[in-house]
Amino acid sequence: METHQKLPTDQLDLRRQQEAMWELFTSECTYFLDHLLVLKMIFMNTLKYLQTHEYLLDVDLWRLFANLEELSQTSFGFVNSLFDIIKDYVDTSENAPSMDFISVLMKHFRGSLCQSHQTYCLNYTAAVFYLESLRQRDDFGIYLKWCEQNEQCRRLHLPELLVAPLHRLTRYPLLLKNIWKRSTDSTEKVMIYSIKEKVEKSIRDLEGKVKWLDNFQKLRHLQEIIVWPPLWDRDKRFFIPECLKHIFKEHMAENILSPTNRHLLYEGKLTLTESTRFLDVYLFLFDDFLLVTKTKRNKKKLGSSDTGLMCPSLTPELQTVIKEGGSCTVLDQPIPLDRLVVKNIDPLHVSVFGLRNAFLIQHENGYRQCIAAFLLQAQTENIKKTWMAQITAAISCFMKSQETKKISLFTLPAESSEI
């Protein structure tokens, strides 16, 4: 696109708008050619070729590249559409006062462009974590090194290429805003602004979906590693004859973590003080109950292929437990937050009994009688204070939500007398 030193005001405004469109077009070309096409042709197609020859057969293409094929086709279609309107304008510049770009923007941004990016972005975190687990393998390392040495990669590594669609999606609103600012026609400005708003809404929806998906995946993985022992194993006071145990098996607690509206607020490793020993425990603080578990580590470690099944958002401590084939065994029943009391331990007791950074958790029944107590020690005073603050805040939020529910029940509109 040529530039002119001296132009009338209306032509100068038109030229600025054209420059904004040109920036959208050229940046989309760069995104497609230097990122999406390289990912597809160099990395994904090479992996497909190797798998047809029975190499790396256990590597999951979708987990690594998601809907890259669809994303490439969508971006390519967008580039072609932008190129066509620019070419048409250049060919008929004497007769056409401006480019007819609004229809192209509406078609693609209200079509599959945002949706295909959303689908890809939802898989991104898991893909990066999956890639890290695959890097530990020699055969995958050879494939990765060969691909990254290709001159078309321009010294970019696979993680840098995989993140490109996330960056591109968040840049679309900025490019559209630039076009909007340089437009003078009021109708055009309204339409461009509405397109920009739709893209921004798509990004906000994606953020919500990512949080929901991350929580869902985390709870699903916790279901796999948390072991709920039956009543007779958890508490030796209760004797259940073998012939009656089948009655209780129908009411096992594995599904307690299945509700998608339950959120994990805080977690971590502490030390439980018992009468004759210290026990390493792992606590899970949910938005409605606290769960105390003890970590069990197996001597036999899992293979590298199994480590790829872990959730990226799991803490390093839990990832280590999983790698070692371990689990978290529930010590006692979940403690509902409205039945939980947390108390600080006086420094005097700390010096007398040799307790360090200690605090007490009590489980009370409906009559406010203590039915269980856990004397816990943290590694540092700061960790102890953080735990106590997190539990106190969770109890407060839970009690407020319960009060809100009660009020809403009492303030429901009366039923119609006609019913």
User: pLDDT value at position 190?
Assistant: 94
Tell whether 65 and 164 lie within a shared domain.
yes
Domain membership of residue 418 (yes or no) is no
Single-letter amino acid, residue 71: L
Tell whether 174 and 286 lie within a shared domain.
no
pLDDT in tens, 55-79: 999 999 999 999 999 999 999 999 9
Domain membership of residue 4 (yes or no) is no
pLDDT at 141 over 80: yes
User: pLDDT value at position 415?
Assistant: 45
pLDDT in tens, 101-131: 899 999 999 989 999 999 999 999 889 889 9
Three-class DSSP category at 122: helix
User: pLDDT value at position 27?
Assistant: 95
Is residue 281 within 8 A of residue 379, CB to CB? The reply is no
Domain membership of residue 64 (yes or no) is yes
Percent of the chain with pLDDT over 90: 57
User: pLDDT value at position 253?
Assistant: 58
User: pLDDT value at position 372?
Assistant: 94
Domain C-terminal end among 223, 252, 283? 223
User: pLDDT value at position 151?
Assistant: 94
Domain membership of residue 248 (yes or no) is no
pLDDT at 259 over 90: no
pLDDT at 143 over 90: yes
CATH of the domain at 354: 2.30.29.30
pLDDT at 413 over 70: no
Structural tokens at position 198: 């739709």
Domain membership of residue 175 (yes or no) is yes
pLDDT in tens, 190-233: 999 999 999 999 999 998 888 887 888 788 788 878 988 888 88
Dist CA 250 CA 255 (whole Å): 11
Tell whether 184 and 91 lie within a shared domain.
yes
Tell whether 92 and 213 lie within a shared domain.
yes
Structural tokens at position 152: 């078309």
Task: Read off the pLDDT of each residue in 295-324 and give the average, rounded to a whole number.
Answer: 66
Tell whether 264 and 125 lie within a shared domain.
no
Query: φ, ψ for residue 293 (rounded to 5)?
Result: -130, 160
pLDDT in tens, 313-343: 788 888 887 777 788 999 999 999 999 999 9
Which class for 203: exposed (0-12), middle (13-18), buried (19 or more C-beta within 10 A)?
A: middle
Tell whether 164 and 273 lie within a shared domain.
no
The continuous run of DSSP H or E covering 68 comes out as: helix 68-91
Domain membership of residue 366 (yes or no) is yes
User: pLDDT value at position 88?
Assistant: 86
355-369 in b/e burial notation, b at 16+ Cβ within 10 A?
bebbbebbbbeeeee
Tell whether 23 and 159 lie within a shared domain.
yes
Q: Which residue has the higher pLDDT, 219 or 163?
A: 163
Tell whether 187 and 103 lie within a shared domain.
yes
Tell whether 208 and 289 lie within a shared domain.
no
Percent of the chain with pLDDT over 70: 86
Task: Read off the pLDDT of each residue in 296-311 and give the average, rounded to a whole number.
Answer: 54
Overall domain count for the chain: 2
Dist CA 397 CA 395 (whole Å): 6
Least confident segment among 146-155, 353-362, 387-396: 353-362
* CA–CA–CA angle 67, 71, 77 (5° rounding): 150
pLDDT at 172 over 90: yes
User: pLDDT value at position 406?
Assistant: 78
Tell whether 278 and 167 lie within a shared domain.
no
Structural tokens at position 216: 């869902």
Tell whether 193 and 291 lie within a shared domain.
no
pLDDT in tens, 246-256: 777 645 555 67
Domain membership of residue 163 (yes or no) is yes
Dist CA 121 CA 76 (whole Å): 18
pLDDT at 87 over 60: yes
pLDDT in tens, 349-372: 666 667 889 999 999 998 999 999
**Binning pLDDT at 50, 70 and 90, where does residue 308 land?**
very low
Least confident segment among 130-144, 288-302, 316-330, 402-416: 402-416
CATH of the domain at 92: 1.20.900.10
Tell whether 166 and 268 lie within a shared domain.
no
Dist CA 149 CA 408 (whole Å): 63
pLDDT at 136 over 70: yes
Domain membership of residue 236 (yes or no) is no
User: pLDDT value at position 305?
Assistant: 41
**Binning pLDDT at 50, 70 and 90, where does residue 95 land?**
low
| Average pLDDT over all residues of the chain | 86
User: What range does the domain containing 181 cover?
Assistant: 10-223
User: pLDDT value at position 276?
Assistant: 84
User: pLDDT value at position 164?
Assistant: 93
Task: Read off the pLDDT of each residue in 376-402 and give the average, rounded to a whole number.
Answer: 95
**Binning pLDDT at 50, 70 and 90, where does residue 410 land?**
low
